[in-house]
Amino acid sequence: MFNLSRYFSTLSLILIGLAAGLLGATYREASQAQLTVLAEDRNAAMARVLENALGTPLAAVVASSVGKDASMLGEGGEAQELQSGIDSLMRDTGVVEVSVYNRLGVAVFSSDAARVGSSGLDLPGFRAALAGKTTSEFPTPEGNGSDAGIFTTFLPITGEGKTGEGVLAIRQDLSPFMVSQRQTMWLGTGVVMLVFAGLFLAQLMVVRRAQGILTEQAERIEAARSTLEAQVDARTEELRRTNRQLKDEIAERVQAENKLNYLAYHDPLTGLANRRYFIERLESSLVDAARQNRRLAVLFIDLDQFKQVNDSLGHGIGDELLVSVASGLCEHVRLIDMIARLGGDEFICVMESVRSDDEVVTLAREVIAAFDTPFHIGGHDLFLSASIGISVFPNDGSSVEELLRNADTAMYRAKAAGRGHFQFYTPEMTREAQERIRIEMLLRRALEHGELSVHLQPQVESTSGRLVGAEALIRWESPELGSVPPTRFIPLAEETGIIIELGSWVLRESCRQVMRWQASGFVLPQVSVNLSVKQLERPEFIAVLQEILEETGLEPSRLKLEITESVVLAVQDAFSLLERLRKLGITLALDDFGTGYSSLSYLKMLPVQQLKIDRSFVTGIGHNPEDEAIIHSVMALAKSLDFEVVAEGVETEAQAQFLSQTGCHQLQGFLHGSAVAPAEFRARWAALPA
């Protein structure tokens, strides 16, 4: 039954609301426009009065503001004269503040002393007035702050018959007018609503009566129809029920079986084949390839930046990104015979009937090209790349397990070469991977069995040769591997996370050694320790460092931490973290300076005290003018930013003399000694005069 009352009530209320809203908005806009014109005219008139009466001190204040800082702007007889005149002219006028801005946007005068020296460059009204146009800012009715009713007009100050000399801002309190405006608006709105309500009630009574008549007739008809339909429906439903139940049971069983079969062989997120389906399909393909004496390629695909996206934007965005990647691979890569998702951000595909390696290379490049355009997910443009490892049957393995393992190994080699690369598997990769696993195991054992030691290389004053510090360098003597150079195990420690424990050990052992020497009468002024990005990324790093200093008793000022430019760029909020270290009293040095992407914008903000010139520039002294020019530039930069400079890799007297003459403060290198064990270090330097 059509409910006439309900539809009429709804439609009438909507129309009444729209009409009232339209009338209210129209009245409000008209009132506000009228108030704006009147207020702006009044402010402009006030400005003309002020310029006519106080033109001389006004021009003097603007002209004398050049070269003064904020503390000096309110001083001077012109400002006092202008203040006195404004107080007299604007009394009982509703003007609450008069400000004067010079052409540079500086508030050179204000009746509100707190505004003197503030900048008006960000104010749209200031910029318009400076161009010669009078403009105003009307207060918003919703404002509830101290400036809610302040109407501001910006007017150009003319000098010698032209604009651009400055801007005059007059602020007028319109609160009384706005209150009156609101009261009038609410009163008018109330009257209109009462009229509309009366009309609505009158029409509603007529409609309700008509609705009652229609309802009575409809009920009689519906009763007769319902009786007949109930009898027909009862018999029809009885016949259908048995047939429907049978069909539903069959359909549900088939649907459940299909769903279970699909889930068993497909990834529920992307719809691609899952690991189980892939392995079964690859086993079958290997049997066919062996019987027909054909080659087959397996490509292991890993997304390079997916973890950062997942961690920063959330798993929901990450899941959508995986779906888009799967869709893109299926759509843009033509040579894939099968593609599957193994889990996480790892995909794998198969190319059957491979005739040459060039075909596999073409496929790998198609996969990489599928990531050339960004993925649009959740309002973000996400850029990814893929690292691909390739194994080929039968050369790289005859079973699914071997091909997958070797393709995975090749993928890690491709990732190490940089993002967006592919790499074919070679037997050397397996041997290298096994060697890395062995070194990792031995390195973990070395921490527990005392196979590691700290050697120290002296840092001397360039002018006197006096010992001012030493850099702590880790050394590893392995029973199985012999003497292992740091270049062999430090990168592995970084990659596996061992560097965190290793770095803490070096810090603690270096501080202990300095304090042991001090207790026996040999004082090392300062010890330098290199920091890894992994250490700085740990939220507990500051606490661990403080614990080491308290445990060993070393003064923070005698510890120097060396970081590289890449560490600064890699660590989130690195500036505040380094500032906390500096406040502890620890010296900070920027290592390998000049070898990275040095930026003066961040260098001037870094709380470091020293720059270390990389040895690659020092070796060029005497025969490479470009290296010498770079060193001169670094010295000039360090002097201007009040940094000390340490040069490493100093091996000859000529290099030392050149660096000393250019203003380098400290030298480090074989000329003054290589990194040696603590006992040998003390034996040499304790015998020299301080």
pLDDT of residue 348: 92
Residues in the chain: 690
The pLDDT, as a whole number, for residue 144 is 53
**Contact call for residues 560 and 592 (beta carbons, < 8 A):** no
pLDDT at 194: 82
Cβ–Cβ < 8 Å for 593, 615? no
**Is residue 339 a contact partner of residue 285, using CB atoms and an 8 Å limit?**
no
- The reported pLDDT for the residue numbered 581 is 92
User: Which helix H or strand E contains 452, and what residues bound it?
Assistant: strand 452-461
- 3-state SS of 501-528 is HHHHHHHHHHHHHHHHHHHCCCCCCCEE
Give strand pairing partners of 388.
Answer: 301, 422
Between the two ends of the chain, the Cα-to-Cα distance in Å is 107
Long-range pairs for 542-545 at CB < 8 Å and ≥24 separation? 542/577, 542/580, 542/581, 542/584, 544/504, 545/507, 545/581, 545/584, 545/586
Judged by DSSP in three states, 246 sits in: helix
Helical (H) or strand (E) element with 684: helix 678-685
pLDDT value for 649:
93
Q: What angle do CA 513, 517, 518 make, to 5 degrees?
A: 115
Q: d(Cα 667, Cα 459) in Å, to the nearest integer?
A: 6
Among the residues of 160-274, which ranges form H helices?
175-265
DSSP 114: G
Whole-angstrom distance, CA of residue 142 vs CA of residue 148: 8
In this predicted structure, what is the pLDDT of residue 72?
A: 66
CA 51 to chain centre: 51
Angle at 290 between CA 286 and CA 295, to 5 degrees: 75
Q: Which domains does the chain have, with CATH numbers?
A: 4-139+149-178 (3.30.450.20), 275-425 (3.30.70.270), 453-472+509-685 (3.20.20.450)
Q: DSSP readout, 359-398? A: HHHHHHHHHHHTTSSPEEETTEEE---EEEEEEEETTT-S
pLDDT along the chain (690 residues), means of 10: 67 76 76 76 78 76 68 67 78 80 81 78 82 77 60 78 72 79 78 79 78 78 80 79 74 76 83 90 91 92 83 84 89 80 89 89 90 86 90 90 91 82 87 82 88 95 94 92 88 85 94 95 95 87 94 95 78 80 93 65 80 91 90 90 93 94 94 94 81
Cα gap 651→383, rounded to integer Å: 46
